[in-house]
């Protein structure tokens, strides 16, 4: 009986042991089956992906002068994992002592606090700490003499965005900043994120990255980053590299249509003025020079803007940060009379038809003086004489005949009221519409006085200097208003052409060849007649066609004058058109014509010498 009980117990114990063995076997099998998964997790936890920024592409002038570049600099880095101590506090203390020593050695200020170092250890333990940047030759020599005695320190090459031509086309070129990793779209792809320089203004911003129908899916100036994979220990310190570094694809280069010396000369001539000068190729819309004055020094915006300098620019009443050439708008004054003349001729007035000018025009109780009011008027004026002497009476009387709508149609055709499709955002200006009158003056009643004003370029009409230059080009080429281009081509980092601009017509001024011929004759007389309003723009070696303008702005107690001169010239089978505005000038003929003459003579001489 006893033996039976013992046997039962032994049997039960055996069954239990067998079951336990099976359970252990199953668990062991599961562990072995999941080994690869655990291994991958461990590997993932010990591998870090470090982002490597691409080198930013350059910006060149049309003659391949470097406008925006990357300068190689030497930074002093501390690899904390090489000097770490047991415990974070001791490691921080060691780092502080090393930085203090190097600061004294170089004679530099130590800007690191304990909190800065702790933040770096918490967030970027796998990356070296950049202690000092842009070491000069003497500092590098000092460091090299001491590197052997101090572990963890290294001199490494980095790059910063630089603008070697300083204020050259600053409003167009723009500037960059180091990006904030927190805002980066690819931040989650990397364990440690080293930012790119990002375009923040101008062409640096527009061509930072390119992805549009007009431009192929290019990398843009910024390029495509590379990366490296590194193994780290349980505290996040780099142990050793796991794979070979994947190199970045460097950014593309942008080549402008702006000619270096033409732009430089335009800026020099405007150095002590507030205004803008634009030069375009009248045969395709290429922008060859576009200066806004005053400007600013781009070299003081990199690697970060000098705050005192920026504050000074913001407070300056002459608005140096405003790109006056394409983002500023001004009342055009008499430069618009060429367009009004075309509208008049195309609506039935013969070029030889005359208007008697007695020095002023009366409209109801109002009176608008002509430039000749002091000596009794110009007498009989046809279109040629009216343009030559800028006769207000002629354009007001003829403008009233055709009316606001027809005048406005010609302004639209000339590109006014629409922002030019430049590569940078442009001002559209103001068209003389009933809607705009209501928006500005809170009345929709359009009067003859309003029509008289716009007939001479006053009242509800503003344009940018770029629009003025493109309109002048259209007068020269029989009506084609081209889309303007700042950018000529885009090259990859090996110099291969990826994009080449193609000229296109944005609009056409609807006038006959005879009409264009008539107003061009008037523009010829403006400059080349002894009594022309723009005779101070005459050149001995080149035939200039031009038109002056003087626009009164401001209240009666604060009346000022913006002065204009537009011109075109044919040279070596090319036609060039230009517009110049100078704020608070004396008159278009006295203030602007001589400046334009000097600029065009310089430019055309350079073209002759280059042959």
Nearest to 544 by CA among 587, 575, 517: 575
Residue 185, exposed/middle/buried by CB under 10 A (0-12, 13-18, 19+)? exposed
Give the model's pLDDT for residue 31. 59
| Gap between the Cα atoms of 86 and 64, Å rounded | 56
Task: Say what the pLDDT of residue 323 is.
Answer: 97
Is residue 488 a contact partner of residue 508, using CB atoms and an 8 Å limit?
A: no
* Backbone φ and ψ of 153, nearest 5°: -90, 145
Distance CA 232, CA 12 (A): 52
Alpha-carbon span 402 to 413, nearest angstrom: 16
Residue with structure tokens 């278009």?
588
- Quick one: pLDDT at residue 41? 45
Q: Using CA atoms in the order 283, 285, 289, 291, what is the torsion angle rounded to 10 degrees? A: 140
Q: Give whole-number Cα distances, 159 to 53, 69, 156, 197, 423, in Å.
A: 10, 10, 10, 10, 27
Tell me the whole-structure pTM to 2 decimals: 0.85
Cβ–Cβ under 8 Å, residues 327 and 276: no
Per DSSP, helices labelled H in 60-215 are 88-106, 114-123, 137-146, 170-173, 202-206
- 207: nearest Cα among 586, 516, 513, 490: 490
- What is the CA angle 105-111-112, rounded to 5? 100
464 vs 428: CA distance, rounded Å = 8
Alpha helices in 124-166 (DSSP H): 137-146
Provide the pLDDT for residue 609.
76
Mean pLDDT by 10 residues, the chain (611 residues): 64 71 68 51 58 90 96 86 85 90 90 89 82 89 82 82 94 90 77 81 91 62 82 54 73 96 97 97 98 94 87 94 97 97 96 95 92 91 97 97 97 97 96 94 93 96 98 98 96 89 96 97 98 96 97 81 97 96 95 98 89 64
Quote the Cα angle for 407-479-458, to 5°: 35
- Judged by DSSP in three states, 357 sits in strand
Whether the CB-CB separation of 584 and 317 falls below 8 Å is answered with no
Residues 6+ apart with CB under 8 A from 45: none
* Two tokens, residue 109: 């200020």
């Amino acid at each position: 009986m006893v033996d039976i009980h013992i046997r039962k117990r032994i049997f039960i114990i055996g069954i239990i042991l067998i079951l336990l063995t099976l359970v252990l076997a199953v668990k062991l099998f599961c562990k072995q089956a999941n080994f690869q998964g655990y291994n991958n997790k461990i590997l993932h936890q010990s591998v870090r992906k470090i982002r490597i920024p691409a080198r930013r592409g350059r910006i060149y002038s049309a003659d391949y002068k470097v406008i925006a570049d990357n300068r190689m600099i030497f930074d002093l880095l501390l690899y904390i994992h090489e000097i770490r101590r047991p415990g974070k506090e001791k490691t921080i203390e060691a780092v502080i002592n090393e930085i203090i020593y190097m600061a004294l050695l170089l004679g530099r200020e130590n800007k690191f606090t304990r909190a800065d170092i702790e933040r770096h250890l918490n967030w970027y333990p796998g990356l070296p700490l950049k202690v000092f940047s842009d070491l000069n030759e003497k500092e590098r020599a000092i460091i090299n003499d001491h590197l052997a005695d101090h572990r963890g320190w290294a001199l490494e090459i980095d790059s910063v965005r630089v603008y070697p031509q300083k204020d050259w086309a600053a409003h167009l070129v723009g500037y960059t900043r180091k990006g904030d990793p927190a805002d980066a779209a690819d931040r989650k792809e990397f364990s440690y994120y080293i930012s790119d320089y990002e375009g923040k203004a101008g062409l640096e911003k527009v061509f930072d990255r390119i992805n549009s129908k007009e431009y192929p899916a290019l990398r843009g100036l910024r390029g495509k980053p590379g990366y490296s994979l590194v193994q780290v220990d349980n505290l996040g310190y780099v142990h050793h590299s796991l794979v070979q570094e994947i190199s970045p694809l460097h950014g593309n280069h942008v080549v402008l249509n702006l000619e270096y010396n033409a732009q430089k000369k335009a800026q020099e001539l405007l150095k002590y003025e507030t205004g803008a000068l634009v030069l375009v190729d009248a045969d395709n819309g290429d922008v060859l020079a576009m200066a806004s004055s005053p400007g600013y020094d781009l070299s003081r915006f990199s690697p970060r803007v000098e705050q005192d300098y920026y504050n000074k620019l913001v407070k300056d009443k002459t608005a140096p940060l405003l790109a006056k050439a394409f983002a500023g708008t001004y009342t055009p004054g008499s430069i618009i009379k060429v367009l009004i003349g075309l509208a008049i001729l195309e609506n039935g007035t013969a070029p030889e038809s005359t208007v008697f000018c007695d020095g002023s025009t009366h409209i109801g109780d109002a009176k608008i003086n002509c430039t000749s009011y002091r000596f009794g008027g110009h007498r009989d004026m046809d279109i040629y004489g009216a343009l030559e002497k800028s006769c207000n009476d002629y354009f007001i009387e003829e403008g009233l005949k055709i009316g606001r709508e027809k005048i406005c149609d010609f302004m639209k055709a000339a590109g006014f009221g629409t922002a030019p499709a430049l590569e940078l955002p442009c001002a559209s200006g103001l068209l003389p519409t009933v809607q705009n009158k209501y928006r500005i003056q809170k009345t929709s009643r359009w009067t003859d006085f309003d029509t008289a004003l716009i007939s001479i370029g006053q009242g509800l009409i503003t344009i940018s200097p770029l629009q003025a230059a493109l309109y002048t080009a259209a007068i020269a080429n029989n009506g084609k208003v081209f889309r303007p281009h700042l950018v000529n081509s885009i090259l990859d980092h090996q110099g291969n052409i990826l994009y080449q601009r193609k000229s296109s017509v944005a609009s056409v001024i609807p006038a006959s060849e005879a009409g264009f011929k008539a107003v061009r004759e008037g523009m010829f007389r403006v400059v080349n007649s002894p009594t022309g309003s723009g005779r101070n723009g005459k050149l001995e070696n080149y035939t200039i066609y031009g038109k002056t303008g003087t626009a009164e702005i401001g209240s009666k107690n604060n009346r000022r004058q913006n002065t204009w001169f537009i011109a075109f010239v044919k040279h070596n089978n090319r036609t060039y058109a230009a517009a110049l505005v100078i704020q608070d000038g004396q008159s278009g003929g006295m203030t602007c014509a001589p400046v334009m003459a000097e600029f065009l003579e310089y430019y055309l001489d350079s073209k002759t010498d280059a042959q």
